[in-house]
Structure 1
């Protein structure tokens, strides 16, 4: 991790859950982190907690579903922090509905965040890395449902959005090779993680099902996975990393 000390990382969805844990881990490793989030005040609270750490956290108000805000966020980082070396595409949402008679806006929320927002942020990061001749690293926080669809009521378009992330990561890798870029791309796929994610999505777990008994991972486990991936030598690329609790059946 030493080569990243003092370098700039952007973490999207940094206000809670995985994003907050990843931002904290990077700051403790000495990176200068821009935490993109709609709830800027929560990132500011985390920044105060991390005062005195090896690195520093900056809160930047960005709604990842709005292209102009993503572009403005990258421009702020460019002017105030410097070239981007690491992008963690963590922002993601789920919405409880169905495909049979689902609500269109909920589908749009999922795709605008998990697919289009991720793609726009990636484009802006690559643009900055190329302009500054940076051999950076991009990590898409994916999901196990980006590889196989589990039988869980109400997931609707969410698995499709994460399958898209899997394809986007691999397509980006091909583009990097074609353009002779040394930027790394990793898809990191957690299983069940104990965060606010399900509550925010309106998902209610039936206490009588096996899902309610799964412990899964915690946000710090996923943050440690990010550190592992970033810590690999320049000639090594972890293309896919899956992290799940030992009792997860899917």
Structure 2
């Protein structure tokens, strides 16, 4: 199997939650490979800093301030991309939140709503819009969901609350999308990438608790480049990334 990113050079990639951590690492890695990377996130200042950081790469980063929990924000962003950059070839659904402790027995509805709006509904809306664009332009693109090992197993860590349930949904949604695309005889790929504990802002409590070295955002960016580098006939459905000595 020959791995190559050449066919994506100059193409448009959309990365959600791109202002820091895994999303920022993925956006930077794709820009280095020569893609036009649309970085979506709420924190405009972080997006602008990221844009300056990759100014001299083969590709570029185009920041669009977007709240993934707000459908109109997403739709406006995708409309701008279609009107100004052309068809989308890659979507990386990375945006995710872990709200303050909000368990089933004593949680707040607002906290639950925020969790699912970003981790599930926002992911679905972005996927729908990207796939629609790919199909209209006959693009054999690639959708990547940044999932989690907690999308496959519930870990007994109380501060994570309902987070695993949102990631279990991502696991199911990736397979649902694969089946829908197959039913349409589409050559668009879907990959779920499930990292273990990673050094980002989202899991501060887990970082402190971990007994071993944890993953870096660049490790996950490298995993995304790997799945994107596979030949057109190869689809990596699920890629789990852990440290060698994991918790």
Q: Normalising TM by the smaller chain, what interval?
A: over 0.9
1:76 aligns with 2:80: yes
Q: 1:36 — aligned with what?
A: 40
Structure 2 CA distance for aligned equivalents of residues 143 and 66 of structure 1: 23
**Structure 1: which 4+ aligned runs deviate by more than 6 Å?**
none
CA contact (8 A) 1:135 1:183 kept: yes
Partner deviation per Cα, 1:125-184 (whole Å, 9 max, x = no partner): 001001110000000000000001011112221101000000000000000010011000
Q: Aligned partners of 2:65, 2:190: CA distance in 1, in Å?
A: 25
Q: Corresponding residue for 1:223? A: 221
Asked if 1:120 is matched to 2:120, the reply is: no
Deviations 1:53-76 (Å, cap 9, x if unpaired)?
000000001100010110000011
Instruction: Find the aligned partners of 2:151 and 2:207 in 1 and give their Cα distance.
Output: 23
Give me the TM-score of the superposition, normalised by structure 1: 0.94
Conserved 8 A contact 2:199-2:207: no
Cα distance between partner residues in 2 of 1:220 and 1:173 = 26
Q: CA deviation at 1:52?
A: 1.4
Aligned length: 242
1:197 Cα shift? Answer: 1.1
SS in 1 for 2:160: coil
Quote the offset at 1:98 in angstroms. Answer: 1.5
Offset, 1:215: 1.8
Cα displacement (A) at 1:50 = 0.7
**Equivalent residue of 1:107, what SS?**
helix
The 5 Å alignment of 1:137-148 reads: 137-148=142-153
The aligned residue for residue 170 of structure 2 is: 165
Say whether 1:45 aligns with 2:43. Answer: no
Task: Provide the TM-score with structure 2 as the length reference.
Answer: 0.95
What is the Cα deviation at residue 22 of structure 1?
A: 0.3
Using the alignment, how far apart are the partners of 2:116 and 2:95 within structure 1? 12
Question: 2-side partners of 1:196 and 1:104: how far apart?
Answer: 23
C-alpha separation between the residues in 1 aligned to 2:42 and 2:206? 27
Could you say if the C-alpha distance between residues 52 and 205 of structure 1 is closer, same or farther in structure 2, counting changes exceeding 3 Å? closer
> Which residue number in structure 2 is paired with residue 131 of structure 1?
136
SS at structure 2 position matched to 1:226 = helix
Superposed counterparts of 1:96-245, under 5 Å: 96-199=101-204, 204=205, 211-245=209-243
Shift of the alpha carbon at 1:196?
A: 1.0
Specify whether residues 128 and 32 from structure 1 end up closer, same or farther in structure 2 by C-alpha distance, changes over 3 A only: same
